[in-house]
Structure formats: C-alpha cells, structure tokens
Structure 1
Amino acid sequence: MKNKILHLLLLITTSVSAQLTLKGKVVDEFDNPLPFVNVVLQKTTHGTVTDDDGKFLLKTKKYRGILEISFVGFETQTIKVSENTKYLNIVLKEESNQLEEVVVVTRPKKRLKKKENPAYKILKEHWKRKRKLGLNLVNHYQYKKHSAIEIGLNNLDTVFLKSVFKKNYDKEIKQVKYDSDGVNYYIPVYLQETISQVYGDNKNNNVREDIKAEKEEGLGAQGFVFDRMSNTFQNVDIFRNNIRLLQKSFVSPLSSNGFATYDYVLYDSIVKNDQKLYNIYFFPRRDGDLAFQGNVWIADKNYSVRRIKMAVHKKVNLNFVRGLSFDKEFEVKNDSIYLPTKNVYDGDFTLVDKNDTNKGLTIRKTITFSDYLLDKPKPDNFYLESVEKIRPDQFKKDEEFWDKSGKIVDEDTYTLINTVKKKKKIKTITGFINTVANGYFNTGHNFQIGPFWTLFANNQVEGFRTKLGFRTFKTKDDRFRVGGHIAYGFKDKKFKYGLESRYLLSYKPRIAVGVAYQNDIEQLGSSLLNTTQLLGNTFGTTALLNRGDNFFLSKVHKIATNFDYQVKLNFHVGVNFSHSRIRSASEADFSMSYVDENGNFQSQITDVASDIYVSYTPGRFVYGLGVERRFGRNIFPTFVLNYRKGYKGPFNGTHSYDKIQFKYNHPILLGELGLLDATFEGGKTFGTVPIGLLNAIPANQSFSLVKNTFALLNYYDFVTDTYAATHLEHHFNGFIFNRIPLLKKLKLRSLVTFRAAYGSISDANRAISRSNINYNTPNDVYYEYGVGIENIGYGNLRFLRIDAIWRSNYTPPAGALVSPTPKFAIRIGIRPGL
C-alpha cells in the first residue's frame, strides 16, 4: 500500500454541469468514420478530436457558437450550434485541390493481411533501419536536456475553487488555467525542473548525464510521494519492441511484431520541406490489450520517425488511469541522423473510477533536447565518470541562471503554485495523499504517527494487540531520524516497545549508522533473511485474522547497531552487531529449551552476533537524500548475501556458530504474456544451535497472502540448518481474460504460483533440542502451487486478489502441536496495483 501511485490519488467524485454539451459523429462521403478529426468551437479554447469510430463529445460553458470541423485532405466545415443542438452527423468532403502525393486509405472494416496493407511496406523499411538511424550513426555526441515535471489537481469546478481561494476568489481565479476539456479548471501543486548535459560514447556504449541545475516548488516536501510520482514516466523508448510502463509491458506501435497487436492505416502522405512524409495511424486490435492508439509520421528515403503521438486506449485494463498520452518530435540531419527535440508525457489519474466528471491528478513531464554536438569525442574515461547528487541543495541556481537557460514552464505556473501551497484545503488534500501513501499522520512539530495498517493484530499469547508507531520527520531529506513503537496485549496485559535512531554520517561516500533497542514479541518462524532492519517487524505478530492456534512466539530483548556503506548507487555493504535474549513468549505451550555443553537444560538463548552483508539492486529508482530513502516500484533484480557470526562468551553469548544466506529476486517482463516474479534463496548454519537460531521454513497461518511464505504450513513445521527455496509467481496482466468476451468486461487478471522448499538438519542439532517442536525437514521437497484472480473490485478500487492453493503430500510428524494443515485453501491478498 505504501508505494503505489494509486494511493497517492485523493480524490472525491463530483459531477460537473456544463452549459453546452455537443455530441456527434464525423464520416466521409462513403459513410466511413473519420478518426482524429479536429472539432473546435471558434473563438474559444474549447476543442476535441474524434475517436476511432469518428465520434466526439465536447463540453463548453458557452450557450452558442460556431463549431469548426477540419481534417487534412478534407474541406473544413462550420456549423452554428446552441443549447438546442442535438446529435450532429457530419459528412466531410475531400478537397478538390489535394496534392498528388496524398493517398487516403480509410481504416478497413475487415482487417487486411500484412502484405495487402500499404502501411506494411513503409514499416518494414523502418524496421530494417531503426538500429542504424539516429544518434547510433555517430561515435560521440552531447546535448542539453531540460525537463519539467508538473503534478496538479484536474477537473476542478468553481465550487471547489471558491472553497480554496475564499475571499480572494475573484482575483485568484484569473491565474487558474482551464483543464484539457476547456470546461473545468486545473491547479498545479508541485513542479520540478532539471537541466543536465548528456554525453554519449557509442564506441564503448557509455552514457554520462551531469545535472547542471535543479529547482522545485510546491507541496513536495511533506513526503516521498511526489518524488516517486515524478518518476512515473521514465524514458519511453518507442523503438524497442516492448515499452515498460507502470510495471507493465506495452507493445510498441513500431515493434517488428506490431501487426499481431495493431491495425495500421496509411492515411495520407504529404510533401514538407522537400521531403515526403507518410502518416500512419495505428489502433489496438483488441481494446483491452496493453497497446496504444495514435499516429506516426515517417519520412521516406531513410524511413525515420519525425513525430509520433500515441495514447493508451481507455479500455486498457489499468486501474486509476484515466488517460496516458505521449508526444515525441524529432529533427533529421543529413537525411540519416534523426535527433529527439521534444517529449511530452501526460497522465490523468483518478481514485474511484474513470468517469470524465471526477476530479483527478495530472502528471505532466516535458523534456526538450537542444545544443547537439556530434563527433566531438572526449577522453574515454570521461564517459565513465559522473556528477552524483549527494545534497538536497547541490544544484540550486539563482533566477538569473534560469532566465538565461530558456523556459519550458511559464512564470505564471510558479506564481500559482506558490499561492495554492499556502491554502489550507490544498495542504489538507496533499497531506491526505501522503498519509495514504506511507501510512503516517502528520501531527505537527516534525512528528508523525503510523503506519496505520499495523495498528491492530491478534494472537494466542497477547490476545488482541494494538501497536502505535511514530517517527520524527522534518523534511524528506532529514539526516537524523528517530522512530519506534509501543504495543499492548490485552490478554497478557503487557506493554512492548522498540526505539531506533539513524544518522547519515556522510553524503559522499554515503555512510549511515543506526542503533536500536527492542523489548517485544516476534514470530521467528515467518522470515529467513534480514539485513538492515534492526527492529523486528515480522508479519506473524501483525496479522489480525489467523487459522489455528499459534503459541510459537518469542520474547526478544535486543540491542542492535548498523553501519551501512554505499559503494555506488544501489550497491551497499554493511555490518550489524546485535545482542539478543530470546525465550518463548508462552513457555507452557511452546518450549525453546535446549541442553548446554554441561548437560543443563536452558530456556533462554543469548545471541551475540555480527553480520556482514552485500546488497545489489541494479536499476532501482532511489528517492530522497536523507538517512531514510524510498525506492520506486520499477522492475529491477535484487541480490543479497549475508554472513552471520555468533560469539560464545563475550557479553554472555551462549553459542558460537556461522551462518551464510543469500536471496535473489528478479521480476521479468515477458512482453504481452505478463510478468514473472522469481525468487531464489538458500542458507546454511555451521555449528550446534537450538531452535531459536535455526532456519524455520517461512510459514503463514494468516488468511492473507504474504510474499515468499508457504500458506499451507504452520510455523515451525519445517526446521532446518540447511535450506533452499524458490517462489515463482506469474501475473498475466489480463492476457488471458482479455480474450474471453464475457470476462473481458470484468477487467480481471489471472496468475499462477509455484513455491518449493528443500532442507535438512544435522544430528547434533537434533540432539541438543528439548523443545516440544519435533524437528521435521523438507528433505523430499515440499511444494505448493496455485492459480489466482487479481484486480477484483469496483471501478478503480481493485485491491483484492484470491488464490486457490494446493500442496504436495505432507504429514506433520507424530506429536505435532497443531492440527495438520489443509491440503487445499483459499487465500485473500490486498495487492493494489495499476
């Protein structure tokens, strides 16, 4: 729930009443619908274009006016309209003075084969050349990149604006711009601009980007939300066969496999600047496919792209997304080198549903490219270096610099943001966005309470449990932060608590230290590998509903420290030291006893240990420059290796041992087939240790789905000192259900899962145990498999996922403390997503 854009979206459904609503359809003389026809009310900013069926809808505050309908190759038509105007059927005639080069091909009602389609010949030539065109033709290049990311509230009516500006409404409304529909209003709340210099070395395939200047304005400082949202649109590379967007894989309209996904129409060709340009429209074959609709201009001779405009089809199975559009422009040099000049990405997001009357959130990213310099090489090692941002104000420049650098955002926008960020209602809305995104409530005085989703839980030892967390928070870039929690169990009538502080010692190299103190109850059998998390936070003590009895909880009294060193971005090494006293939280029901070297029974473990870990997450988006950083939900692999050493003697440590563990996770996009999320992990403990220091295969006795756990195991069903496990989930993203007519309208998505574990335990570890847990190991390989349906809900609120899960043959050993687990179960997960 923390990381989704979805949770950033505020917004309250409202209905907007317009003075004049115009509907109609535009066709040619042969009654063929004309898509992308311009429909504009003269002397206003109100306009729209027809959809792929030739239909349009236009709302305006005007009571009457002259409607102008125009399209390349056809005669422009004007029609008087008023509030009495009904549905318009408009027929456009072809111009009599068309250029000889114009070839009009309407969208075929019956799909043409590739070789019969005139667009195929042009696209085929483009596919042959696309790897040899553009900047790839030069060995070295550099250019200036100027980007602006704007976030704002859209589809606002005058009632809302009056509640924002109050007495100053008449004055402030003059600054507010109309939304894209020309009827309602739009208010920006956050803006960030960046100027950088890009250097490329094609000979060695290296790219360096140096930030020269940055500035931001608005309500982004309350949390990491707007930083995360500003990276919604990464570079959309139209020349790849598949485009990664919102954790999905969209088929590019310029893909060499595009004819399997799109219908192409060569609409016309024109001569511009002595160059012939072909205008090709593309439409998804199936409305629910992850694809775009729009048009592309392709030049003859070199068959390079001059401009492409495309948008995600409204029927695409994406929650919270009302609209996504992309506009890319290129210039051509020497008939072969085409250079990007401008990119505009526009997203419109809503909370409840995609109704055009609802308020929403706009994210707009504009990038301009200029000052190209080709084949002016620099030394090879220059391209390997980079200017890294390490401080929040590192690239701050004065207004004189920005005035000289050119503007892609007008000054009025900055003025308006500076005005609205002080308004109580806007601050309340953006504060709500941040609360829903990260779970923390602002209380003022640089102090927050949360996260709210861990407030209540239940287990057999504590009964009903309530937990209140807190943290200090001044800005998202705090170098020092303190956090913790206090919990109370209504059955055992005991308070538990934890406190942790972290400090960023150095920006470069990035070095962070932390210290924590904990006196709480943990479910040690629900996770295997933990590196930087000092306070225990296993889900076994945070679940509200569970199956069966669970007394397998441990009291943990711990002091821990952490030292984390960033070798480079997304590559960390670190050291932990900890002193923990561990014993059963309910000794009458769950024993953790063991025999020490003197033959005495012991019920408490004193674990004195150090950890050395390596964490590598290439390609991960990182936000914030303070001691706590947040990470984007883009697709990236994760590798973690941890070596733990236990010490007997110092600080009363009871056991000497060595443990090595690793985890590798790699989400893989498989084109239109969806996303495969694969995790592999394993570990081995060297030495003789009791149950509290062994590796329990992660079980899950709650009724909810928890990542990388086994839903049909009880805690401590399997106890090992050597283990290996894999967790595979494939999300089809609607690939199957979108092709089934009746299910297609429900927007459901299918998935399959497979999990397996193998492990063993030494005779020495069995021999010292006096626990009432019978050590059992998955030495014959235990596995679970399932099928599921996700994206269940209403409108955009599609959080639910339901899995049907089966397991391999497995019988708990004689004397097991709980009843056998079921062979089949239904589990529910909350997985908000796009």
Structure 2
Amino acid sequence: MRKHLFIVLLLTLASHGYAQRGLESKKDSTKTVQDSIKKIEFLKNIGNGFLPFNYFNLDLKYLIKFNQYEGLRSGLGGITNDRFSDRYRVDGYVVYGFKDKRFKYKIGGGFRINKSSNTWINLAYIDDLQETGSSKFLTDKRFFTFFEPRLLNIDLFHKHITKSVGLQHKFSNHLLLESQLATSKVEPTYFYNFLIDNKIYSNFDLSTAKTSLQWSPFSEFSEINSKFEETKNGFPKFTLQYTQGFKSVLGSDFTFSKIDFRTIQEFKHKNEANTKLTLVAGLAKGDVPITHLYHASPNNITKETIMQRFSVAGLNSFETMYFNEFFSDRFSTLQIKHIFKPFKISDRFKPQLVLISRYAIGNMNNIERHQGIQFNTLNKLYSESGIEINKLLFGFGLSFAYRYGGYHLEDFEDNIAFKFTFNISL
C-alpha cells in the first residue's frame, strides 16, 4: 500500500512539475507574442512619424525643418493616444523660425460621437504659415518623411490665423468623409495686392466650408487590435473635395468655390515592377486670391547653372519647373512612374531604376487682379521626363529630368534638373 502511495505521489509531483513547466512555457510564449506586437506597433508609430509615450505620442515632423522664409524651423508637437482616452484627444505644436524670428502654433482636440462609424468632432486654432498655391485634401492620410524635399526651397508663404470645427466620419472602410467650417485671417509674407471692384486687398479674411470624400473601392481591411486597418492597398483610389467661400459671413471678404480631384492607379507586373499613375485636377471660380489658387508642385530653384540648382528631388513634384513660375485657377497634372525591380548586386546593395514622365496644363482668368507678383500660365502643355536611380547609398540616389514641349527654354541647360533622391522605409 505504501509502495502504491509512493508511486502516486511521484506521478503527482512529476505531472505537477510538467504542468508548471508547460505553464511557464505558455507564459513565455505569450510574453514573446506580446513583445512582438509591441515592437510592431512601435515601428508602425515611428513609420508614421510618432514617438509613443504612455499617454502621448510625440510628433517627429515638428522637430526640425528648413525653408527659405523661416530658415531653420524647430519645435515640439504631438497628440494624445488611446491610453489617454479612446473618446477624447488633444493635439498641438509649437515651432520657432530662426530667420523670421516668430513662433507658430496649433491648439486642437476632438471628441468621438460614434465608435462604429469613427465619427469625430474636431476643433482647432492655428497660427502658422502655408505655402501659396498649395491645396491639401482633408481626408489625406498622414504622410511622414524624415524631411520634405520641396520645403527646403519654398520662399512664397502666407501667414494665416485659422479657427475651425470639423466632422470626420466613416461611411464604410472604403468611403471616408471630412468636413470643415473655418475662418481665416490671411496675410502674404511678400508684396501682393488683390484688386476686386476697384478695391485693393493686401490682406483679407475668409470664411469657408469644405467637404472631402476619399473612396478606396478595391482596398481590403481587417480588424487588428479592435481597429479596422487597410491590409491590401487597392487601386484605383479617388479623392474629391469641394470648398465654398462666403462673403460677408463673419467678416469674410470674398465669395468663391473650388473643386479638387485626384485619382491614383497602380499596376503591379509579374517581374516585381510596377507602374503608378497620378492624375490631379483643380478648378477655382469667383474672387480667389493667389494664396488659394494652384501651382503644379514645382521644385526647381532659380539659379544659373545646373549644379547651383542641385538639391533634393520630391516624390510628386515637377523637378524642372521653377518655383513661382506658374499659377492657375484651373489645372490638371498627370504623372507616370515605372518602377523596375531592384537590381540585386548584393544583399545590402539593391539600387532601383525609375522612369518618370510628368505633364501639366492650366490657365487663369483675370490675371490683372493679381498685382505685385509675376508669373506665367499653363495654357500650353508642360512636359518633363527623367530617370531616378534610388537607394545607391544609405537611401540616397540620383535624379535627372529634362523639360521639353510648349515650355522648353532657350538655354539648353535651363531645361535640365540634376538632383539627389532620398528613399528610406522602416
């Protein structure tokens, strides 16, 4: 009997030890998975330009930048995360321009009114600069790069103090909406007069309503950590935005309307190459100052020689088009990129060849309204083509582009842009 009890005791201890080891192994496995998830989430945040802390994500895009007007621009910004609250958020930034010796800042926040449709009400107060002729879609996802190539050489900005209230709503994973009501006090940093009905405006007030729709019918989404995220980036994608300006509403000076459209298509080939097409168009009608008209995303400095113009190529900019050369109240651009499979010279050295063609056309009514600034229109087709050889060394590469067609310049070298590229992914 004692022998039997002794055997049972040994078996019990053995099974208990095995169970403990199994439990410990299970705990170790669970911890490894959790650590892996945390690492992936951390890298995702860094890739989006955020350094996560307990209740707050530091926004890396405000740390350091450079442009021709502010010189060095540096500051801090960020947004609260889900650990702080999944119903409320606070965001903002403070930056300082060392050349213009001026602080800029934003104070904002939002509260969610519906979880299933991810509906938010957002409020913001902004005192900052904006590039003249730039047009942004409200629904654009956050896009982060370590530095913004075009920003280095931009010199045409306008100051604005903007108060806004917005609505963010998801009709479905494929269809997103953002709307915004805003008032802005606008003051160009350069000499500019806007002539309307024999009255000259050197600065002005605007009251606007803006609605933006983004449709991604071929993307696929999956629920990850209780959030639906895009798991397949499907094409084509479509974005449409309408802006209406109201005269005499909250002191606004002008009535105008704008329609902006963009579609992106991408074809993946069997040899791991892909072709990307981007079509952008805009139409502005009414009394629209140059601050709110369109440029075609130029990225060339007005200097004499090719090497004096050597700088950084942008991702979707016209490399041979000079800054402030063209403005339009209606325009369209088409960009075609064919990206070849990387050349595997070694495990670390995989340069990539890209062929690029870009086209732009546009025009402007009532050019005489815009006084103090000289520019051309795009009533003839603007054309440039070129190549990029990316990832030659530490993410750096080289770019070459040539300007031809209706806006070909008399001096041969003025049509050439030679620059370096920077591409890195986390």
When the two structures are superposed, what TM-score results if normalisation uses the length of structure 2?
A: 0.80
The structure 1 residue matched to 2:402, chosen from 800, 806, 809, is 806
Give, in whole Å, the separation in 2 of the partners of 1:648 and 1:671. Answer: 54
Give the distance between the partners of 2:240 and 2:181, measured in 1 at CA: 16
Amino acid of the structure 1 residue aligned with 2:368: A
Q: Which residue of 2 aligns with 1:436?
A: 46
2:135 alignment partner AA: L
> Are positions 1:751 and 2:354 aligned together?
yes
- Counterpart for residue 64 of structure 2: 456
State the 1:696 CA deviation. 1.8
Runs ≥4 residues deviating over 4 A: 410-414, 417-423, 426-432, 541-545, 621-633, 742-746
Kept in 1, the 8 Å contact 2:299–2:323? The answer is yes
Deviation at 1:521, TM superposition (A): 1.2
Matching of residues 568-587 of structure 1 within 5 Å = 568-585=172-189
Q: How far apart, CA to CA, are the structure 1 residues paired with 2:348 and 2:159?
A: 50
Deviation of 1:463 after TM superposition, in Å, equals 2.1
Matching residue's letter, 1:752: L
- Match of 1:531? 138
Equivalence for 1:496: 104
Contact 2:76–2:93 (CA under 8 A) maintained in structure 1:
yes
**Counterpart amino acid of residue 685 in structure 1:** A
Q: What residue is the counterpart of 1:591 in the other structure?
A: 191
What aligned pairs does 1:292-311 form with structure 2 within 5 A after superposition?
none
Q: Secondary structure at the match of 2:104?
A: strand
Q: Secondary structure at the match of 1:758?
A: strand
Which residue in the other structure is 2:265 paired with?
Answer: 666
What does residue 157 of structure 2 align with? 553
CA distance in 2, matches of 1:413, 1:756: 61
Q: Is the 8 A contact 1:674 1:730 kept in 2?
A: yes
CA distance in 2, matches of 1:760, 1:538: 32
Amino acid at match of 2:369: I
* Partner Cα separation in structure 2 for residue 630 and residue 447 of structure 1: 21
Aligned residue number for residue 204 of structure 1: none
Distance 2:210 2:204 in 1: 18
Query: What code does the residue aligned with 1:450 have?
Result: D
Inter-partner Cα distance in structure 1 for 2:350 and 2:141 = 41
Contact 1:497 1:519 in 2 (8 A): yes
Q: SS of the residue aligned with 1:650? A: coil
Q: 2:27: which partner in 1?
A: 415
When residues 600 and 521 of structure 1 are mapped into structure 2, their CA distance, relative to the original with a 3 A threshold, is: same
Structure 2 counterpart SS, 1:713: strand
Q: 2:56: which partner in 1?
A: 447
Q: Deviations over 1:359-392 (max 9, x none)?
A: xxxxxxxxxxxxxxxxxxxxxxxxxxxxxxxxxx
Match of 1:827 in 2: 419
Does the 8 A contact of 1:522 with 1:538 survive in 2?
A: no
In 1, Cα distance between equivalents of 2:175 and 2:144: 25
Letter paired with 1:530: F
Tell me what 1:639 maps to. 238
Q: Quick one: which of 378, 382, 386 aligns to 1:786?
A: 386
Looking at structure 1, the residues matched to 265 and 144 of structure 2 have their Cα atoms a distance apart, in angstroms, of 23
Equivalents in 1 of 2:144, 2:49: separation in Å? 17
The offset of 1:603, in angstroms, is 0.9
Q: 1:744 to 1:808 in 2, by over 3 A?
A: farther
Shift in Å at residue 711 of structure 1?
1.8
Change (3 A) 1:485 1:822: farther
What is the 5 A alignment of 1:685-696? 685-696=284-295
Q: In structure 2, give the amino acid aligned to 1:554.
A: H
Could you tell me whether the CA contact under 8 Å between 1:504 and 1:627 is conserved in 2? no
Pick the aligned partner of 1:720 from 314, 328, 349.
Answer: 328
Q: CA offsets per residue over residues 37-64 of structure 1, 9 Å max, x none?
A: xxxxxxxxxxxxxxxxxxxxxxxxxxxx
1:651 maps to 2:250: yes
Query: Once the 2 structures are TM-superposed, how far is the Cα of residue 623 of structure 1 from its aligned partner?
Result: 7.1
| Cα pair distance change 1:715/1:482, threshold 3 Å | farther
TM-score (norm 1): 0.43
State the alpha-carbon separation in 2 of the partners of residues 449 and 761 from structure 1: 42
Letter in 1 for 2:114: S
Residue 620 of structure 1 corresponds to 219
CA contact (8 A) 1:476 1:626 kept: no
| Of 185, 197, 202, the match for 1:603 | 202
Where do 1:156-195 residues align within 5 Å?
none
Contact conserved, 1:502 with 1:627, CA < 8 A, in 2? no
- Quick one: which amino acid aligns to residue 332 of structure 2? A
Give me the whole-angstrom Cα distance separating, in 2, the residues matched to 1:822 and 1:629: 49
Unaligned runs of 5+ in 1: 1-170, 176-409, 814-819
Would the aligned equivalents of 2:196 and 2:287 in 1 still touch at CA under 8 Å? Answer: no
Letter aligned with residue 751 of structure 1: V
Q: Which amino acid aligns with 1:754?
A: S
Measured after TM superposition, the shift of residue 670 of structure 1 is: 2.3
What's the offset of the Cα at 1:656? 0.6
Larger Rg: 1
Kept in 1, the 8 Å contact 2:139–2:177? The answer is no
Change (3 A) 1:609 1:676: same
1:629–1:776 CA distance, 2 compared to 1 (3 A): farther
SS in 2 for 1:619: coil
Listed as ranges, the matches of 1:730-745 within 5 Å are 730-734=338-342, 737=343
Tell me the CA shift for residue 505 of structure 1: 1.4
Rounded to whole Å, the distance in 2 between the matches of 1:625 and 1:523 is 37
Q: Percent identity?
A: 20
Q: Is the 8 A contact 1:479 1:627 kept in 2?
A: no
1:474 aligns with 2:82: yes
**Alignment CA distance shift 1:623-1:449 (3 Å):** farther
- Distance (whole Å) between structure 2 residues aligned to residue 558 and residue 812 of structure 1: 40
* Distance (Å, rounded) in 1 between the aligned partners of 2:319 and 2:41: 36
Cα separation, partners in 2 of 1:433 and 1:566, compared to 1, 3 Å = closer
1: CA distance, partners of 2:175 / 2:151 = 38
Q: Is the Cα contact below 8 Å between 1:477 and 1:626 reproduced in 2? A: no
Matched AA of 2:362: G
What is the rounded CA distance, in whole Å, between the counterparts of 2:93 and 2:232 in structure 1?
Answer: 26
> CA separation in 2, counterparts of 1:628 and 1:442?
18
CA contact (8 A) 1:714 1:821 kept: no
Residue equivalent to 1:511: 119
CA distance in 2, matches of 1:428, 1:677: 33
CA distance in 2: counterparts of 1:829 and 1:524, whole angstroms: 25
Supply the distance in 2 between the matched residues of 1:636 and 1:711 (Cα, whole angstroms).
Answer: 26
Partner letter of residue 664 of structure 1? T
5 Å-filtered alignment, 1:370-409, equals: none
1:587-635 superposed Cα distances (whole Å, 9 cap, x missing partner): xxx22321232x2321112221112222101233557789998655734
Q: Distance in 2 between matches of 1:713 and 1:562?
A: 35
Judging by fraction of residues, say which structure has more strand.
2
The alignment partner of 1:695 has SS state of coil
Residues 733 and 427 of structure 1: CA distance in aligned 2, closer, same or farther (over 3 Å):
closer
Report the Cα distance in structure 1 between the residues aligned to 2:179 and 2:224, rounded to whole angstroms: 21
| 1:545–1:520 CA distance, 2 compared to 1 (3 A) | closer
SS at match of 1:468: strand
CA positional deviation for 1:470: 1.3
Q: Any idea what the Cα deviations from partners look like across 1:268-311, whole Å, max 9, x if unmatched?
A: xxxxxxxxxxxxxxxxxxxxxxxxxxxxxxxxxxxxxxxxxxxx
Aligned residue for 1:436, secondary structure, equals: helix
